[in-house]
Amino acid sequence: MTAETITADASGTWNLGGLPVHRIGFGAMRLTGSAAFHLGTPSDRARSIAVLRRAVELGVNHIDTAAFYFSALRSANELINTALAPYADDLVIATKVGPFRDCSGQWATSARPDQLRGHVEENLRQLGRDHLDVVYLRRMRQDSVAEHFGALAELREAGLIRHLGISAVAPRHLAEALEIAPVVSVQNRYAVDAPDPEADELLRMCGELGIAFVPFYAVAGEGGERGAAGTQHEDEVLAVARAHGVSPARIRIAWTLHQGPHVLAIPGTGNPDHLVENVAAGALRLTDEELARLDKARTQTG
């Protein structure tokens, strides 16, 4: 089966707070320009719109975005609105609040709890929606998430938000948030190239609690927003990729999905060919031996 014939339903489905989504989704950060969304040359607008529309054609029904995903001339939310509105009934759009940037693109300090309503409303305006399906609180190094998450819980009660998630957290933050309101998903850095015991514990906790775990930088690994580059795990990933005749990126995504039925991948790209490859990763089945090989490389350098 060629990548061009594979759609997102091959990855399976997860119930995200009552919203069924395919486990291969799409991250919108890279639509605005370079890998680091706030740097580099703005993307070609028509190409970014075409990528979004192609993603939906390929069965993607879970898109991750944020109002602070913008470059000099591009806004991820505006691109999504232009490409996909009026939105399909089964399309789930998740966004996040916490960090924010001024009009010049410079990062400001983390939003105060009383500013979060304004940030939610800005996402609503940009996306052209009257509610947001999922909103993550992106923790910005604060010790406790209770006050910020509590503010979002109030907006959920008011009907502006359907479901809540948390991002960039430790296991104790998940426990803290669950004391305040239901959490449908946790978004943290997680990759075969980036071992992290706290992320492993969050993955386990989410599986036990029926909460989605949504890794970011799963393809980029240690390179983060700069992209994958020369890691200690590269040889193992390349060996498995060669065995399947696919790209290393597809192996990284497949490995991520193999970590549990509650894991949702959101690889991002502004390249239509890479999009097809990423979606096709949902159909790739790694053998037990291949998984053990990748896991061993990960733990030996963790």
Are the C-beta atoms of 279 and 58 separated by less than 8 Å?
A: yes
Q: Give how far Cα 186 sits from Cα of 77, 99, 100, 109, 125, Å.
A: 21, 17, 20, 22, 25
Rg of the chain on CA atoms, in Å: 18
Are the C-beta atoms of 98 and 111 separated by less than 8 Å?
A: yes
- 141 exposure class (CB count in 10 Å sphere: 0-12, 13-18, 19+): exposed
Of 69, 136, 190, 217, the catalytic one is: 69
Q: Give how far Cα 27 sits from Cα of 93, 171, 205, Å.
A: 10, 24, 24
* Residue for token pair 């498995």: 240
87 as an active site residue: the answer is no
By annotation, the residues acting in catalysis are: 69
